[in-house]
A and B are shown apart, each in its own frame.
Chain A
Amino acid sequence: MQNPYMPSPVTIEQIDIENDLKDIKTFRLKFEREEDSRRFNYKPGQFAELSLFGFGESPIGIASSPTEEGYLLFSIKKTGTVTSELHNSEQGRKMGIRGPFGNSFPWDRMKGKNIVIVSGGFAFTTLRSAIIYMMDARNRGDYKNITAVYGARSPGEFLYKKELKKWQQSEDIDLTLTIDRQAEEEWDGSVGLVPSVLKDVSPSAENSIALVCGPPVMIHFTVPVLLELGFRKEDIILSLENRMKCGIGKCGRCNIGHKYVCVDGPVFTFSELEKLQTE
């Protein structure tokens, strides 16, 4: 019997500071054992439990795409015990990983559709995974137009600046970056909050699915815009977070109603969430 509580050993290969505030770092992890790497089959939208022994575990969305072979990426904000210790870590440190856990974005349903990506702040991580995955030459033909609106407080707070630059120059994706208000530094993107910029971009709802990840207030104002654009409730895809321990639907704390975020989610459609709304 495979023990789902046993972490597989990984090494931190590389650490990149993502933002000006320096409280978000991306960790590149490599499996120590080839068989663990092979067994870790994941899809964009899933998460893993990262272990620092003596500190504990944290559930973190996977920021790399399965098309990026040989390593995993996790972008982590310094917040609690485990994530603070991770931020104090150096390259070469050994740690553990369990997963992949949870469902993923609805990849079967997304085939042949236009994909609209809406994100704000730090929640962009699993959407990076989704975009890299779709942009891969082996997969790009499976999706029609890819439109993305990504907002941050200021230019220095965007994650994955290198990739964003590449995507801005690509014809395979229509990316709009926006900052909350006019910055002192040079900025040639949009200015304004994500929901209003989304309204300006006005992506067609025809044969489209929207993936939305961001802070609760952004989601609160973004969903009505999408509905107004004609998106059906079941075509608005959201990803949730809750406190977790086991990641495998047993420990009892991440539920919303009778659904566990760790195994039934973290990805839900807006129509599913509406039914759980009283929770």
Chain B
Amino acid sequence: MKTGILTKPEIQELFSSMITKNGEESRIFVPATIEGRVILEEFSPEREIFYDFANFLRPPKGIFFPQREVLCSFEQERAVEVPPAAGRIIIFGIRPCDARSFLFLDKIFSAGSSGFADPYYLGRRENSVIISLSCIEPSEGCFCTSLGGGPGDESGSDIVAFDLGDRLLFEAHSAKGENFIEENTTEFRQPDAADQNAKKESLQAAFNAISRISTDGLVEKLDDDFSDSFWEEITATCLGCGVCTYLCPTCHCFDITDEKDRDGTGTRVRTWDSCQYPLFTMHASGHNPRAEKKQRMRQRIMHKFSYTPRTTGDVFCVGCGRCVRKCPVNLDIREVIRKINGE
């Protein structure tokens, strides 16, 4: 495994030099504060990388799967292809849970799942480098370790970086990651025993702070036909706002709509959509297979914990805890799973 140490000012310099390098343009996304909020923002040399945060409010999926994107434009009655923007994308500083979510989204948008590849998502994703930042202080609501993740988990990351205070330890976990360290090898210093110890200590502290649920045999348990009243009870306080799905790093459902100007030109756009809305499944005839809130909640839970395990082999939840923290009525997905477990 290739490793390396950089001080925080050195990272700032490294990214500044990478925006345009060897004639190739890169878009680099880093944690930054804007008006007191920590967001994943496009890097420029003037922008200071921010390290003191738990996680971003929004998941990073929008970089590869934008909340709104044009699929094609049209003039009169003809469609004109709008190719996705080219160029390398470097994402630095997302948490390991969010990096892991990319592996799941990859399965949805590649040809594997249905025989059709999504050129918009893959066009961005294939030319990307993911450098995640291990967790130091997990938030309330985090439960990544129950779902196969962890504060320093490498799945989905080309490189995992560990914050050791004034410096970062980088560990490459893919060929892309190794290349990245190789290309910039003069900048990196080799880690010593003190660095490795500091890494271990920070990881253990984070690990201990993360809440746990049991997901053993969950897929099989969900095979049991839970009664309507089970879902009704769980959904009783739900407002149907859909924030759990918008903030979920693995939720990927979308709508396609046309926007037309008076002169007959316009665009066909793809936007994030949510299974929590009744219109999501309503037929033109008025019939709606998921007309009720409890059916829609069931869909959300089943999609993540039963359907995708069957179709892709993965539980589509990374335990980032966003839906737990941001639900306006404190509907906690961990509690739902505990109830399914019969706890």
**Does the CB pair A255–B71 fall under 8 Å?**
no
Size range of the chain A interface in the assembly: 35 or more
List residues 221-279 of chain A with CB under 8 A from any CB of chain B.
241-243, 245-246, 248-258, 260, 263, 278
Q: Count the B residues whose beta carbon is within 8 Å of the partner chain — how many?
A: 49
**Does the CB pair A252–B253 fall under 8 Å?**
yes
**Does the CB pair B281–A242 fall under 8 Å?**
yes
Does A94 sit at the interface, judged by CB under 8 A? yes
A interface, over-half SS: loop
**Does the CB pair B266–A250 fall under 8 Å?**
no
Given contacts A1-B122, A96-B79, A242-B283, A252 and B252 within 8 Å (CB-CB): yes
Q: Which residues of A contact B81 (CB under 8 A)?
A: 3, 6
Cα–Cα, bound, A49→B72 (Å): 15
Of A51, A243, A251, A255, which contacts B307 at CB under 8 A?
A255
Given contacts A9-B79, A245-B256, A54 and B74 within 8 Å (CB-CB): yes
List residues 123-156 of chain B with CB under 8 A from any CB of chain A.
none
Closest to A54 in B: B260
Q: Which residues of B contact A254 (CB under 8 A)?
A: 281
**Does the CB pair B74–A245 fall under 8 Å?**
no
**Does the CB pair B79–A6 fall under 8 Å?**
yes
**Does the CB pair A53–B258 fall under 8 Å?**
yes
Of A3, A9, A54, A57, which contacts B264 at CB under 8 A?
A54
B297–chain A nearest beta-carbon distance, Å:
14
Q: Which residues of B contact A242 (CB under 8 A)?
A: 281, 283, 289
Cα–Cα, bound, A263→B264 (Å): 32
| Chain A interface residues (CB < 8 Å from chain B) | 1, 3-7, 9, 51, 53-58, 79-80, 83, 93-96, 241-243, 245-246, 248-258, 260, 263, 278
Q: A5-B120, A258-B311 are in contact. List 13 more A-B contacts (CB 8 A).
A: A3-B81, A6-B72, A6-B79, A9-B78, A53-B76, A57-B256, A94-B78, A242-B281, A243-B280, A243-B283, A246-B254, A250-B116, A258-B306
